[in-house]
Structure formats: structure tokens, C-alpha cells
Amino acid sequence: MLPLQKPLAISLFLLLLSIATYGFLKDVSGIPSGWMPNDKVMHLLVFFALTLSFMQAFVRPFWQCLILLALYGALIEVAQATFTSRMGDPLDWLADVAGIILAAALTRLLPAGWFRRDLA
């Protein structure tokens, strides 16, 4: 994954953030339970993608990325419990944090030049 141009990277991050927010807050009562894959895996993958796109879009140390996206994940869980018929789950938040950490670990393993390394 070669570094994206900054406006494109920011646009991609904002698009993914919008889609994630919609998906996490959407009422899923009409969707058959067998249709949805494991919720924790979905949280991990969404935050994996959000982290990769955040790191491309913004020049920030990893700890700032971790705090901002973990806070977003916590707020999503509170919003689910408060504004929707869904329940907030602390284990979902742990899956979010796992996705963030997994993305950061992957970027450390990629060859130099494949990914912006603002992980100080």
C-alpha cells in the first residue's frame, strides 16, 4: 500500500468513518441474526481499516491515533446503548482497540516506503 496523496487519504478516512458510524448506529432488528458475521470480528476489521486510513491521512504519533480511535469506539458503544435499540458492549470496544493495534503492528512489518510510519 503506497502512501496516498493527502487530500485523497483524508477523504478516504472520512468516508470510512461515515460508513462505520452509520453501520454501528443502524437499527439491525430487521436483519436475520444468521446474516451478520461475528460482531467482534467486524469491529476488529472496521477499526483495522480506520486505523490504516487515519495513519495515511494525518501525520500523528501512533499513541494519538490509538487514543482518538479508541475514544471514537467508546463513544459508538455509548451511542448504541443510548440512541438505538442496540446494546453497547465493552467487548466490542476491546475488539476496536485490537483492530487499532493490529493495524499498527502490520505497518511496522511492511517494507520501508509502503506505508507512512508516524508511529513514534
| Predicted local distance difference test score (pLDDT) of residue 9 | 85
Burial (CB count <10 Å: 0-12, 13-18, 19+), residue 76 = buried
Distance CA 56, CA 32 (A): 36
Structure confidence at residue 17 (pLDDT): 96
Query: pTM of this prediction?
Result: 0.83
What is the domain partition of the chain in residue ranges? Answer: 6-27+38-109
Element (H, E) at 17: helix 6-25
Q: How far apart, in whole angstroms, are the C-alpha atoms of residue 38 and residue 58? A: 30
Top-confidence residue, 31 or 97: 97
41-89 pLDDT, tens digit per residue, is: 999 999 999 999 998 888 788 899 999 999 999 999 999 888 887 788 8
Q: How far apart are CA 112 and CA 107, in angstroms?
A: 9
* Confidence at 6, pLDDT banded by 50, 70, 90: confident
Long-range contacts of 106-113 (CB under 8 A, 24+ apart): 106/52, 107/52, 107/55, 110/1, 113/2, 113/3
CB 9 within 8 A of CB 56: yes
- The pLDDT tens digits of the residues spanning 14-44 come to 999 999 999 888 876 655 556 556 888 999 9
The identity of residue 95, as a single letter, is: A
| Beta carbons within 10 angstroms of residue 21's beta carbon | 14
